[in-house]
Amino acid sequence: MRLKRKDLLGIEELSSEEIELILETAASMKEVSEREIKKVPTLRGKTIINLFYEPSTRTRTSFEIAAKRMSADAINISLSASSVVKGETLKDTALNLEAMNPDCIVVRHSVSGTPRMLAGYLSSTVINAGDGSHEHPSQALLDMMTVKEKLGRIKGVKLTIVGDIAHSRVARSNIYGFTKLGAVVTVCGPKTMLPPGIEALGCKATTDMQGAIKDADVIMMLRIQLERQKESLFPSTREYARLYGLDPVKLEKAPKDVIILHPGPINRGVEISPEVADGPWSLILNQVTNGVAVRMALFYLLLGGIKEEFS
Ligand code: CP
């Protein structure tokens, strides 16, 4: 089984059928990580390069673990360890890496559109691991997997995303993904963090946190992306936490069985209090676990893994 595309650059371009296929495949891949011997020969002989030009803990590690659990060879390259610091262009770096015949290059970059640009030059599969404020498709897929696993469905689920929507690639990918599968998505934050016209992506937008969470099945909290803000978008971190940070008092306004997601890294005491992050509503670490399964599914579906060798 394969996705009929060379690259995975964003959720926007995926059909609902493709998303469902990835989620179903990830659900069956998850079991491999629960075995004593966490390895299958499915991608034996394949080479995967992780090219990360921005910091990452979860995404880079889980792409590497996913590749290794499927017996592919995984190589990691970071900005500081690449010849870009000696003046080489990204295009030259990518062409030189491709000259070594990898099967897949996983790219994270601070500039939106970088994975698409590289996909145009390269015959290897390119997977977007987060590009600027544009998209973070594998994150949205693991978020959808986590909600589906917990609630048994995505259709009709009410998802509220709170925080720095303007700079969030996670918000954008999740709006595309959840709405394609029939969820009702609301984005919430201070006016300075809500991009004008965001409703055109199929979501509602509001500055009213209490109203946004009162009927939510799922609340996704986002970090303030200080590294992408050209100017301060709120008076102080304390003010932001008071108005938009999720703590037990605000959570009382949400349904009792609401679930809380956060893509990480979390800033405790800013957008989420420790009591909420570590509390019974939180599926934050389940998201991380599902990240490995989703990335195994992506490699399998894009690189043509052999199903018989999966068990
Ligand atoms: N969620 C996410 O992208 O985390 P990292 O930046 O640690 O990869």
pLDDT of res. 225: 73
Measured CA to CA, the distance from residue 186 to residue 199 in angstroms comes to 9
pLDDT in tens, 155-212: 999 999 999 999 999 999 999 999 999 999 999 999 999 999 999 999 999 999 999 9
User: Using a 6 Å cutoff on CB, does residue 139 contact ligand 1?
Assistant: yes
User: Structurally, what CATH architecture does the domain formed by 137-287 represent?
Assistant: 3-Layer(aba) Sandwich (3.40)
- Does 309 have pLDDT greater than 70? no
**Could you give the 3-state DSSP secondary structure of residue 9?**
coil
Centroid of ligand 1 to alpha carbon of 31 (angstroms): 23
| Burial classification of residue 275, based on how many CB atoms lie within 10 Å of its CB (0-12 exposed, 13-18 middle, 19 or more buried) | middle
Pocket test for ligand 1, best of 50, 52, 56, 134 (most atoms within 8 A of CB): 56
pLDDT at 300: 96
Q: How confident is the model at residue 236 (pLDDT cuts 50, 70, 90)?
A: confident
From ligand 1's centre to the CA of 174, what distance in Å? 15
What mean pLDDT is predicted for residues 99-118?
97
Query: Residue 288 above 80 pLDDT?
Result: yes
Supply the mean pLDDT for the chain.
94
**Location of structure tokens 């030189």:** 96
**Cβ(245) – ligand 1 distance below 6 Å:** no
Of the pLDDT bands very low, low, confident and very high (cuts 50, 70, 90), residue 226 is low
What is the model's pLDDT at position 305?
Answer: 63
3-state secondary structure of 106: strand
Q: Which atom of ligand 1 is nearest to the CA of 263?
A: 1
CA-based torsion, 133, 141, 65, 262: positive or negative: positive
Is 70 exceeded by the pLDDT of residue 130?
yes
| Cβ of residue 227 lying under 6 Å from some atom of ligand 1 | no
The CATH fold assigned to 16-136+291-310 is Rossmann fold (3.40.50)
Per-residue b or e along 68-104, where b marks 16 or more CB atoms closer than 10 Å to that residue's CB: ebbbbebeebbbeebebeeeeebeebbeebbeeebbb
Tokens standing for residue 163: 């925080």
Percent of the chain with pLDDT over 70: 95
Identify the pLDDT of residue 57. Answer: 96
pLDDT digits (tens, 9 = 90+) for 72-83: 999 999 888 888
Going from the Cα of 225 to the center of ligand 1, the distance in angstroms, rounded, reads 12
Report the C-alpha gap between 311 and 307 in whole angstroms: 8
Where does CATH 3.40.50.1370 sit in the chain?
A: 16-136+291-310, 137-287
Mutate to test the pocket of ligand 1, among 50, 53, 57 (most ligand atoms within 8 A of CB): 57
pLDDT exceeds cutoff 60 at 311: no
Residue 105 has pLDDT above 60, yes or no: yes
pLDDT tier at 286 (50, 70, 90 boundaries)?
very high
pLDDT of residue 308: 53
Q: Which of 65-74, 115-124, 191-200, 299-308 has the lowest mean pLDDT?
A: 299-308
Lowest mean pLDDT among 40-54, 163-177, 231-245, 273-287: 231-245
